[in-house]
Amino acid sequence: MRRWGWGLALVLLLERGVAVAQVTSSHHHFALVGATSAVTVRPSRTNRVFLELLNDSTNSIYCTVDGTTTPTASDGIRLQATAGRSDRAVFDRNVPTAVISCISDTGQNRLLILESYK
């Protein structure tokens, strides 16, 4: 039983080392998104390998990730705001590398952005 525990710990350490070696930098950012015009919340990054957008407000936020389309208050990826549970968009396979732009349907709203890149 004791040998199994050490073997499992060694495997976990090796797997974790591989995952960390692929990503050299991870960051989180906050952006204030208003309803009057779309804002760029993240610049383009050709080496982005993970992106998560989390609505941390009480109003819906719409985002585009292609770098060319301007989001409107009814067009784009909708991140709904629900009491106690915020909507999120996670990109971990086909990760967009273009500019990320967002707009909200009303008021000033907070968007949490998590991203990792090589």
β-bridge pairing 61-64 and 100-104: antiparallel
Q: Would you state the pLDDT for residue 84?
A: 62
Q: CA-CA distance, 69 to 65, in Å (whole number)?
A: 8
Question: Residue-wise pLDDT tens for the chain (118 aa)?
Answer: 444 443 333 333 334 444 444 667 888 889 999 988 999 999 999 999 999 999 988 889 999 999 988 898 778 899 998 766 778 999 999 999 999 999 998 889 999 999 998 8
Task: Quote the pTM value.
Answer: 0.75
83-102 pLDDT per residue, tens: 667 789 999 999 999 999 99
Domain residue limits, the chain = 25-117
Looking at domain 25-117, its CATH superfamily turns out to be Jelly Rolls (2.60.120.10)
